[in-house]
Amino acid sequence: MIDEKNLETEITVDLKNLYRDETFTDMNIATVRRLKPIKPDGTFDKSRRTLYIGQASIMSDSGPLPISAVISANNLKQAFKRFPETLTAEIEKIKGELKKYQKEQESSIVTPGSREESGIIIPGR
């Protein structure tokens, strides 16, 4: 979060890390962003790689969940070809993280008869 008092000193632009952002879609599920590295004058920066980022939304119990992942590709055609495997791997990674989080939350639930129960007054006992 940006502190309003320090607003002028906290906002900086990294002129050595500029990209031109182009978006491509199949109008169905796949969106690929091509980020071309540029110099501050807007010319292509050949010393850095072009990045491809796949984006999609999946439906969850809470509604649409945006997913994005960097696609290892050398061109746009290759990025779209690798889109399904890259996004599927990202979804599986997120599922694993959710299961881990759920287990952590379940282990922190206080159940009757547990040590954490001491000092807690339970109605009906």
Whether residue 60 contacts residue 70, with contact meaning beta carbons closer than 8 Å, is answered with no
Show the domain range for 70: 4-108
State what percent of residues in the chain have pLDDT above 90. 61
Is residue 32 situated within a structural domain? yes
The pLDDT tens digits for 34-71 are 999 999 999 999 999 999 999 999 888 889 989 999 99
What stretches of 1-125 show up as alpha helix (H) in DSSP?
7-10, 76-107
Total domains present in the chain: 1
Q: Is residue 123 a part of any domain in this protein?
A: no
pLDDT tens track for 90-106? 999 998 998 998 888 88
Q: Does residue 120 lie within any of the structural domains? A: no
pTM of the model: 0.72
Structural domain includes residue 46:
yes
Tokens of 117: 């129960």
Is 125 among the domain residues? no
